[in-house]
Amino acid sequence: MKRTLYLWMMFLIPVALTAQKVPDSAILKVKAPSTFMAKFTTTKGSFTIEAFRSWSPEGVDRLYQLIQSGFYDNNSLFRVQSTYVVQFGISDLPEVNRFWDKRPIPDEPVIEHNLKGTLSYARDGANSRTSQLFINKKDNFKLDTVTYNGLKGFPPVARIVEGFEVVDSFNGTYGFEPANHQDSIMQQGNAYIRKHFPELDYIISATLIPGVK
């Protein structure tokens, strides 16, 4: 039964891709409300996040823009480390990745802790946050202050308020390894994932929850 459900979900992924496209640059001017909630539907079920602009104004504005544009639809959960983090945020479409990759947001101070269930942006240098997020699978206090490429800490932007058990169920067979293939994934999309890491789970859709601010 579980395998049947998984294959059904996988069938939906390429169908939904036709709706995704490079957004109009006007999306970059959209500001998030002080708080908002969003539902992430995945191949293992759904989880709900609540974002707080006071935690990271630039980061939360970008998160709001990404969800509003449908960016996280059909994203692979390409890094699943059972006692550390789950990472995602690479589009199936190379041109969509290029759009966001060329428009990073400024660094911000760490205001909240990287507690279990919080989401923060991945980055690889100064002012390099674009679209990739990670979910903390445990309290990762070291990520509040760790020095990485000369920068201290990863500012959380949201927290999971429902469905963390779904995050716990994501397939972690490959651990960190798919993250070593990010360039290929960005250029070839989910086809690369399906060929080399076929057991990974996916975000099917991420949608704002209307009326919740």
Helix (H, G, I), strand (E, B) or coil at 100: helix
- Torsion sign, CA atoms 159, 45, 213, 65: positive
Q: How confident is the model at residue 213 (pLDDT cuts 50, 70, 90)?
A: low
Q: What is the pLDDT of residue 211?
A: 78
pLDDT digits (tens, 9 = 90+) for 74-121: 999 999 999 999 999 999 999 999 999 999 999 999 999 999 999 999
pLDDT digits (tens, 9 = 90+) for 131-171: 999 999 999 999 999 876 667 799 999 999 999 999 999 99
User: Is the CB of residue 208 less than 8 Å from the CB of residue 33?
Assistant: no
Which domain range does residue 7 map to?
2-15+36-208
> Where is pLDDT greater, at 11 or 141?
141
Residue 156 falls inside a structural domain: yes
Residue 29 falls inside a structural domain: no
Residue 42 falls inside a structural domain: yes
Percent of the chain surpassing pLDDT 90:
84
Tokens 């990863």 identify what position?
154
* 14, pLDDT greater than 50: no
Which is it for strands 118-121 and 156-162: parallel, antiparallel or unpaired? Answer: antiparallel
Residue 62 falls inside a structural domain: yes
Residue 26 falls inside a structural domain: no
- Cross-strand partners of 151: 148
Residue 30 falls inside a structural domain: no
Q: What is the pLDDT of residue 20?
A: 73
Number of structural domains in the chain:
1
Residue 31 falls inside a structural domain: no
Whole-model pTM over 0.85: yes
Residue 173 falls inside a structural domain: yes
For residue 41, what is the domain's CATH number? 2.40.100.10
Q: What is the pLDDT of residue 150?
A: 67
Comparing CA positions, the residue from 74, 95, 151, 163 lying closest to residue 120 is: 151
Beta strands in the chain (DSSP E): 35-42, 45-52, 75-76, 79-80, 85-88, 118-121, 133-136, 147-148, 151-152, 156-162, 202-208
